[in-house]
Amino acid sequence: MATLARELAEIEESGTYTNFGPKNALLEARLTERVFGGRGGCVTCVNATTGLMLAIRHEMRTGRRYALLPSFTFPASAHAAIWNGLTPLFCDIDQETWLADEGSETILLDAHRDEIAVVVPQATFGNCVDLDRYAALSRFYDVPVVVDAAPAIGSQSTDGLQFGAGSTFPIVFSMHATKAFATDEGGIIHSGREELVAALRSMTNFGFGSPRVSTMPGLNGKLTELGALLALVKLDEIEAVLEAREQLVVAYRGELGGLRFQQPQGVRQAHQFVPVHVRGLDRAGRDELVARIDEQGIEVATYFSPHLAEHPYFQANSVAGQLRVTQVIADGIVSLPMHDGMSTHDVRRVAMAVQSARASLSTSISMAASDPPVE
Ligand SMILES: Cc1ncc(COP(=O)(O)O)c(C=O)c1O
């Protein structure tokens, strides 16, 4: 933190620690310019979960029941829906991209046509969602869309632009420490609709209009000046971070050719860690594999397993469609480590630990590379 002594002194001198102070104003301007290519606008918030709560609240069709989202994701969007009085309605995922499956979404949209208040696609693990498809879906079913793009600052869609840049939808990003764009806590809501960004800014500040009275639903969701400062520093580093992480993914793919990686959409993915699907495992086999990797001093995780429809709170408060692919992917998923201090030598070490853990398990696992595909 000593390296930021001058900038911290500037915050002290300004006497403004929050409430959209000078660091935050600079951050929003730079994000709009450098990340979103000058399109639309953005408002920061205290974290992405709060951003999702507010964006869903602003966009959702009142009088309808459901928020449609995939079960294979982090709990934040489902919680945000429930805080808005909605019931999560979980769809399945595509077996290659691990994004919401179009066919599964369509079945649920047709079955609950006038009951879906909002659709919440997920840019899972930073993968780019096809926003043109959601624009068509939104028009056809007359349903709003809010995008959970938490890990995707730095992901670029096929047009070479930041994912979501200029979109008519609110696109919600996270700056949580687990993301490539890591600070401590923080969120960004971007949209090409500047009036929407202005409304969401009021909503992060008690719904205050001008004069300072509440004119719409709101809460305290503002990013602090310290949070904005950390994000300004990260903004200067992010291209190098993304490039280094891409090299690590290339190394992982080279070392672990027998495993299934997520099929990337778009031209660049901001990687937060490296999820791989180990075919032929049931949940217990996957957990045993994770334990054997851990025994070798390598810490791995299992995002997003259990998937949301398996969490006790969501079992009691949501409705699920058919989740066959979700179940298969969630049973065999392992998230391999990635952090900014890592080298390709470290990747080799992790890969060796994974391979030796697989070899020490039953033959069903060592034969997994030749298993039939999910469908
Ligand atoms: C897919 C997804 N959505 C939302 C969030 C929530 O972000 P935040 O921690 O900034 O609230 C996360 C956080 O890990 C996430 O992975």
Confidence of residue 210 (pLDDT cuts 50, 70, 90): confident
Give the per-residue pLDDT at 87.
Answer: 98
- The Cβ of residue 4 has, within 10 Å, a number of other Cβ atoms equal to 15
Return the SS3 of 142: coil
Query: What's the gap in Å between 124 CA and the centre of ligand 1?
Result: 10
Is 55 near ligand 1, meaning CB less than 6 Å away?
no
Question: Phi-psi region for residue 20, left (φ > 0), alpha (ψ -120 to 50) or beta?
Answer: left
Q: How far is CA 284 from CA 98, 309, 331, 336, 363, in A?
A: 21, 18, 8, 18, 15
Task: Name which residue sits closest to atom 8 of ligand 1, judged by CA.
Answer: 48
Query: How high does pLDDT run on average in the chain?
Result: 95
Tokens of residue 88, six digits:
């999560």
171-174 and 147-148 strand pairing? parallel
Of residues 174 and 113, more confidently modeled? 174
Taking the centre of ligand 1 as the mean of its atom positions, its distance from the CA of residue 176, in whole angstroms, is 7
Burial class (CB in 10 A: 0-12, 13-18, 19+), 315: exposed
| Cα–Cα dist 76/256, whole Å | 31
* Residues 323-360 pLDDT 10s: 999 999 999 999 999 999 999 999 999 999 999 999 99
Does ligand 1 have an atom closer than 6 angstroms to the CB of 47?
Answer: yes
Is the pLDDT reported for residue 367 higher than 80?
Answer: no
Instruction: Indicate which atom in ligand 1 lies nearest the CA of residue 51.
Output: 11
Residue 302 near ligand 1, beta carbon < 6 Å = no
**In which band, very low, low, confident or very high, does the pLDDT at 193 lie, cut at 50, 70 and 90?**
very high
Residue 67 burial by Cβ neighbours in a 10 Å radius (0-12, 13-18, 19+): buried
Distance CA 170, CA 163 (A): 12
pLDDT at 371 over 80: no
pLDDT at 41 exceeding the cut of 50: yes
How far is ligand 1, taken at its centre, from the CA of residue 347, in Å? 25
Residue type, 136: A
- Band of residue 364 on the pLDDT scale cut at 50, 70, 90: low
In contact, 326 and 305? CB cutoff 8 Å: no
- Confidence label for 363 from pLDDT (cuts 50, 70 and 90): low
As beta bridge partners, residue 333 has 277
The response to whether residue 358 sits with its C-beta less than 6 Å from ligand 1 reads no
The rounded Å distance from CA 247 to ligand 1 centre is 24
Q: Kindly indicate the confidence band of residue 3, based on its pLDDT and cuts at 50, 70 and 90.
A: confident
CA distance 322 to 319: 10
Confidence band for 366, pLDDT divided at 50, 70 and 90: very low
Tokens (6 digits) for 50: 């709060």
100 has a pLDDT exceeding 60 = yes
With tokens 């660091």, the residue in question is 23
Report residue 258's pLDDT band, with 50, 70 and 90 as the boundaries.
confident
Q: Distance (Å, rounded) from C-alpha 327 to C-alpha 308?
A: 11
Give the pLDDT confidence score for residue 71 in this predicted structure. Answer: 98
Give the 3-state secondary structure of residue 194: helix
Q: Could you give the C-alpha distances from 250 to 143, 155, 242, 368, in angstroms and in order?
A: 39, 16, 12, 22
| pLDDT for residue 370 is more than 50 | no
Q: Is 73 in the pocket of ligand 1 (CB under 6 A)?
A: yes
Helix (H) or strand (E) holding 293: helix 283-294
CA distances from 145 to 4, 116, 191, 251 (A): 39, 11, 12, 36
- The mean pLDDT of 120-143, rounded to a whole number, is 98
User: Is pLDDT of 374 > 70?
Assistant: no
Asked if residue 7 has pLDDT above 90, the reply is yes
pLDDT at residue 243, as a whole number: 98
Residue 48 beta carbon below 6 angstroms from any ligand 1 atom:
yes
Does the structure show a pLDDT above 60 at 143?
A: yes
Condensed to tens digits (0 to 9), the pLDDT of residues 278-314 reads: 998 899 999 999 999 999 999 999 999 999 999 999 9
| Count of other CB atoms within 10 angstroms of residue 194 | 12
Contact (Cβ atoms closer than 8 angstroms) between residue 235 and residue 182: no
Q: How confident is the model at residue 103 (pLDDT cuts 50, 70, 90)?
A: very high
Six-digit token string for 290: 């994770």
Q: How far apart are CA 252 and CA 336, in angstroms?
A: 9
Q: Enter the DSSP assignment of 373.
A: P
47-66 per-position pLDDT tens digit: 999 999 999 999 999 999 99
Question: Rounded CA gap, 65 and 59, in Å?
Answer: 14
CA of 73 relative to ligand 1 center, distance in Å: 9
| pLDDT of 365 higher than 60 | no
Hey, what are 35's tokens? 């990340």
Longest dimension (CA), the chain: 70
Among the listed residues 172, 175, 226, the one whose alpha carbon sits nearest the alpha carbon of residue 204: 172
CB 148 less than 6 A from any atom of ligand 1: yes
State the sign of the Cα–Cα–Cα–Cα dihedral 62, 66, 68, 70. positive
Tokens of 357: 């853990």
Distance, in Å, from the CA atom of 134 to the CA atom of 269, rounded to the nearest integer, reads 20
CB 279 within 8 A of CB 332: yes
Is pLDDT above 60 for 1? no
Cβ of 146 closer than 6 Å to ligand 1, yes or no, is: no
User: Does 187 sit in the ligand 1 pocket, CB within 6 Å?
Assistant: yes
Query: Ligand 1 atom closest to Cα of 174?
Result: 10
Q: What is the mean pLDDT of residues 177-201?
A: 97
Which ligand 1 atom is the nearest neighbour of the CA of 76?
4
pLDDT at 130 over 90: yes
Distance 53 CA to ligand 1 centre (A): 12
Ligand 1 pocket test, pick from 71, 83, 128, 174 with the greatest ligand atom count within 8 Å of Cβ, gives 174
What percentage of the chain carries pLDDT values higher than 70? 96
| Ligand 1 and 44: CB distance under 6 A | no
